[in-house]
Amino acid sequence: MASTSDLHVTNLFSLKGHVCLVTGGGTGIGLMATQALASNGAKVYITSRRGEVLDNAAKTHSPDSSSSGEIIPLGPCDVTSKDDLSKITKELESKEKYLSLVVAAAGVSGPKGYPDTSSATQMKDNLWKEQVEEWRDTYQTNVISVFFSVVSFLPLLQAAPKELQASVIIISSMSGLMRDSQAHFSYNASKAATAHLARMMSKEFSKTGVRVNSIAPGYFPSEMTMKESDENNKVDMPDEKVKDKGHAVPAERSGNDQEMAMGVVFLTKCGYVNGEILKLDGGVMNEVGGG
């Protein structure tokens, strides 16, 4: 049984001894996850397609305190390539005995197609402009690469000490849970697939002792949503940006780094959670409904 001091937040959420990998860890939500993990004591490897982004993330956001964790660039790696995934897996195996967490945060937004008309002819014209190749690219990054990224690291995850309760966090989206297309049919459909992929993984991978959960963010500032990043690989999302979405955003603002960090650390540490989709959406799904 726990003593009162055992339940102090520094004991509950310390990540000392954790070794983590974050795909898409140089910007956006992946970087928020990276910072949260490293700040609480974890050694965090980050990878993405752009090596300079990784180097800048590590240089700019590594913890100041020697008692905290560290951020280590790995790669670059294109997660849509099995060869690249095999390469960084072998590199990690040469450096570490285990991984305790994989965060699959790499993603793309895909093409837009506007269904906001009652004319079937006009709707067809609006949507037919989308390209099959764009849909394939969206699924390749948001779904297929998530599957192979996690599968590639399963043996390292299973090798983690049992007290670390190894797990995977898959970044899906509230967009994959709602019926509104948001003019992003390919993205929303891919994120629905990502969320269900996480559910299937949680069931099947439990045999290995590895938990799988998903975070479904709402509006968070990222390079993908704002189309840019600053010199710190960060970007702001003004409040007015979330007030013209065609539906209510009860929080009346975007989510922030601290709120994403809370979700990531909770799912990392709470070994009694498996197969869940944590909605960090500012209350949007209460308004729009969905799965």
Question: DSSP letter string over 117-167?
Answer: -S-HHHHHHHHHTS-HHHHHHHHIIIIIHHHHHHHHHHHHHHTS-GGG--E
Does the structure show a pLDDT above 70 at 225? no
Query: Which pLDDT value is given to residue 208?
Result: 97
List residues bridging with 277 in a β-sheet: 214
Average pLDDT score over residue span 31-49: 96
Confidence band for 232, pLDDT divided at 50, 70 and 90: confident
Question: Who has greater pLDDT, 36 or 239?
Answer: 36
Contact indicator for 212, 168 with CB cutoff of 8 Å: yes
> What are the residue boundaries of the structural domains of the chain, listed by start?
5-288
Map residue 45 onto helix, strand or coil. Answer: strand
Instruction: Report the pLDDT value the prediction gives residue 94, as an integer from 0 to 100.
Output: 97
Total residue count of the chain as it appears in this document? 291
**Could you tell me what percent of the chain has a pLDDT over 90?**
76
pLDDT of the residue at 68: 81
Share of the chain above pLDDT 70, in %: 96
pLDDT surpassing 70 at residue 228 = no
Tokens of 103: 């965060």
pLDDT of 289 reads 75
Residue 136: pLDDT band (50, 70, 90) is very high
Strands (E), the chain: 19-23, 43-47, 70-73, 101-104, 167-171, 211-217, 277-280
Residues 269-281, buried b or exposed e (16+ Cβ, 10 A)? bbeebbbbbbbbb
One of 3.10.105.10, 3.40.50.620, 3.40.50.720, 3.30.43.10 is the CATH number of 5-288, namely 3.40.50.720
Tell me what the pLDDT averaged over the chain comes to. 92
Positions annotated as catalytic residues are: 172, 187, 191
* 3-state secondary structure (DSSP) of residue 39: helix
Instruction: Give the closest residue to 18 by CA, choosing from 129, 99, 130.
Output: 99
Interacting residues of 228 by C-beta distance below 8 A, sequence separation 6+: 235
- State pLDDT tens for residues 183-219: 889 999 999 999 999 999 999 999 999 999 999 999 9
User: Is the per-residue pLDDT at 98 higher than 90?
Assistant: yes
β-partners of residue 46 are 22, 73
Q: Any idea what DSSP says for residue 49?
A: S
Q: When comparing pLDDT for 245 and 45, which is higher? A: 45
Mean pLDDT of 221-239: 74
d(CA 89, CA 93): 6
